[in-house]
Each structure stands twice: as structure tokens, then as C-alpha cells.
Amino acid sequence: MSALLACHECDLLTQLPPLPPRGAAYCPRCGSVLVRSKPNSIERSLALTLASLILFAVAISFPFLAMKTGGFEQQSNLVTGVWLLYAQDMTGMATVVFLTCLLFPLLQISTLLYILLPIYLKYRVPHAMQTFRFAIKLQPWCMMEVFMLGILVSLVKLAKLAEIVPGMSLWAFALLIITSAAQVTVLNPHEVWEALEVPNDSD
């Protein structure tokens, strides 16, 4: 039996027909896209999520930037950068950076792994649907690209005052932004919901 899906624009309930590879279903009332078929969505999204986890570990473990001036070199990483903001009484800024660039991305990667890996291995985990809803709600709050844009602006300004040496963490962070965006693009949430609604064999 075809699944029922509510249109995101006009709330019309529509029975979804079987979709061909890379096909799409449209709302018969307003013409909005209901869902797109994305081949190997779970597998590709899982691979990108695992890559994001590795890149996140590298991004917080190695130097982010080094400044060289007058024979003196100072290195910093993402975690120490947040701590320095706190130390300089920039509590609001430090909290925003910590949440949007460290905590929320890590939570989203972890929750997606918690959902996608069991689906791929064909077993169920408790509270899967609630966890996936939480992962979807986290997406708008992961603002790593905004932080990277701020870093690039700072590099342009600081380049006149000192020699800036990008660290491994900076490149890992840039790749993390790319893999995270790609993961959002390839994931088909409708396919995840369908997999989560399949009952256990023992039920």
C-alpha cells in the first residue's frame, strides 16, 4: 500500500506512488515537491556522516591557526579559541561559537549515526523516531559555515599584522562543512521514516 504524505505547503494528504530512480512526486493541489527519489540514500548519507565524525575529531584535536610575528608563534585550536573568548569576558560570543560549531554539530553527527547505522545493519534501536526528529531540528542550528566565513574575514585583516599559518584543523573544518552539506543533500528523510516504521520481526 502506498504511503500517505502531507504536502509541506498546503497540507494535502496524498498517496505516494512508487517512484522511479531519481524521480519525484508532486502535490496535485499546489504542485510542490513532496519527495524525491535518491538512490542509495541511506548508504551514502551514512558514509558522509562517518567522514564528518572523523573530520570533526581532527578539527578539534589539531591546531586551527598559528600566528607568527617578531619571531614569536602562537597556536590555537577550536576548543582553546572558545576558552579565550570566555577569558576575555565575551561570554555571549563564546557560547554561540561553542553551541553552533562544536556541540550542535557533534550532536547531529551522533544522532544521525545512531539512526543510520542500525537502518543499514537492519536492526532497531530504542527511541529512533524521536532521535531522528531531534536530528532534523538541530540542522538549522549548525552554523559552521558562518564561523568559517568569520575566520576568512579575520585572516584578511590579520594578514597585514602577522604571518598566518593555517593548521590541519582549519582544512578539516572546511572539509567538515562540505561533507555535512553533502550529507543533507543525499539523505532522503522519507526513506528513513519508512525504515523506522518497519516493525520488528519478533513483533
C-alpha closest to that of 180 among 92, 100, 108, 79: 108
Structure confidence by residue, pLDDT tens digits, 44-103: 999 999 999 999 999 988 888 777 776 676 777 888 878 887 888 888 888 988 998 889
* pLDDT digit string, tens, across residues 134-157: 999 988 888 888 878 777 777 777
Q: Where are the domains of the chain?
A: 1-37, 40-197
2 Cα distance to chain centroid: 30
Contact 194, 3 (CB under 8 A): yes
Q: Among 9-23, 33-47, 172-186, which is the least confidently predicted range?
A: 9-23
CA end-to-end span of the chain: 20
Look at residue 32 in the predicted model and tell me its pLDDT. 77
Q: What is the spatial distance between Cα 34 and Cα 12, in angstroms, rounded to a whole number?
A: 10
Query: Angle at the Cα of 76 (from 47 to 89), degrees rounded to 5?
Result: 110
Q: What is the three-class DSSP state of 159? A: coil
Torsion of CA 145, 150, 151, 155, to 10 degrees: 140
Q: Decide: pTM greater than 0.85.
A: no
